Amino acid sequence: MPLRVHYELALAKGETGPGKASAIAREQTVEMPPGVSPAKVERRTIGAVAAVEELSARRARVAIDYPWRELVSDLPQLVNLLYGNISLQRGIRIVGIDWPAALVAQFPGPACGVAGLRELVGVRGGPLLAGALKPVGLGTAELARLAADLALGGLDLVKDDHSITDQRRAPFRERVLTVAEHVARANRQTGRSCLYVPNLTGPVDSLGQRLDDLRDAGVRAAMIAPLLVGLDAVRALAESAGVALVGHPSFAGSLVAPRQGFAPELLFGDLFRLVGCDVVIYPNAGGRFPFRLADCRRIQQRLLAPLGEMRPAFAMVAGGIDAAKLRRWLPEYAVDTIFLVGGSLLGRPDLRAAAEELSRIVAGATRRRGDR
């Protein structure tokens, strides 16, 4: 079974749907003008245009079948085939990918998935609630105090802000050990299993040492930004790290900007899950990022939909969520959703009480519309 990729094309003057589709099929494989490569090489290597639908004089939808077994040796090469050279052209957006099961099987996918993460936080059903430790610039002790309050307030996860990595006021190892200890102490008090998710994003040659730090701290999860460290670094981590991975969307936005890149559900749904994210963070609609609710829901659907033998992954929706908004957004998503509450919560004078209020709202939520 070939890898079928669906594109939406914006056609410039002089371009046609069939012409641009053929050019893509060639650019992404042999990358040679017609007639130069030996015909037998082209026959086995080049993409085949499977469908062309001209939506208007300026827009077309096309599908190309790629003989991926001849082309894809690894994850970077898969990404290269999907959107390597054509990223440098204009008006090409990937809007669908039909994954062959044998191709999917080459990549790790989530090590824990939805069920594994639920085990880690000890919550069998219903949406989960996460908080963030920030801002960057706080010292280790201050971050640890925030973490303790959030854990005591009943949150299921507390994560480092993505800008907190290894700065001098809160160096990685010291921070992870200290925050983990504070969260563990809070858990002993509440009887719950709030999960601390440190930000593992950092130099690729430090990841091994940082995983050792996580183990020393008894930490079972880590956040990483796949586009900051490289999608393949996450793939490699997922194969051996032994912690749940929470993918952060930093630096990924260009790839989902209009009329190019990927439909958001393919990048944050399929690709982030393929490389091994158990949880994928992305901006919620209605916040300070231009994500539409339909896109947000589609990302989640792809995270939960069948993908080879891969485990489903959690969506963690983020950005501008407070108590009032939580009530509005809860019914829009599936039950396997983590709601991330950030700055609005940290602004409350009694942090623990504010966290408790939000926890009650989430705990009271039942299966609703998003869960169909």
138 binds a copy of itself (CB under 8 A): yes
Contact string (CB under 8 A) for a copy of itself, positions 294-333, x = contact: ----------------------------------------
Minimum CB distance to a copy of itself smaller for 275 or for 365: 275
Q: How far is the CB of 130 from a copy of itself (least distance, A)?
A: 15
Of 212-220, 327-335, 336-344, 354-362: span binding a copy of itself (CB under 8 A): 336-344
Total residues at interface with a copy of itself (CB under 8 A): 82
Contact string (CB under 8 A) for a copy of itself, positions 154-193, x = contact: -------xxx-xxx-x------------------------
Minimum CB distance to a copy of itself smaller for 44 or for 369: 44
Among 45, 140, 193, 301, binds a copy of itself (CB under 8 A): 45
Minimum CB distance to a copy of itself smaller for 122 or for 347: 347
The rounded distance, in Å, linking the Cα atoms of 297 and 311 is 18
Task: Report 208-267 residues binding a copy of itself (CB under 8 A).
Answer: 225, 228-233, 235-236, 249-257, 260-261
Task: Report 108-137 residues binding a copy of itself (CB under 8 A).
Answer: 134-137
Residues 90 and 260 sit within 8 Å (Cβ to Cβ): yes
95 binds a copy of itself (CB under 8 A): no
Q: How far is the CB of 181 from a copy of itself (least distance, A)?
A: 22
Contact string (CB under 8 A) for a copy of itself, positions 64-93, x = contact: ------xx-xxxxx-xxx-xxxxxxxx---
Among 13, 124, 188, 288, binds a copy of itself (CB under 8 A): 288
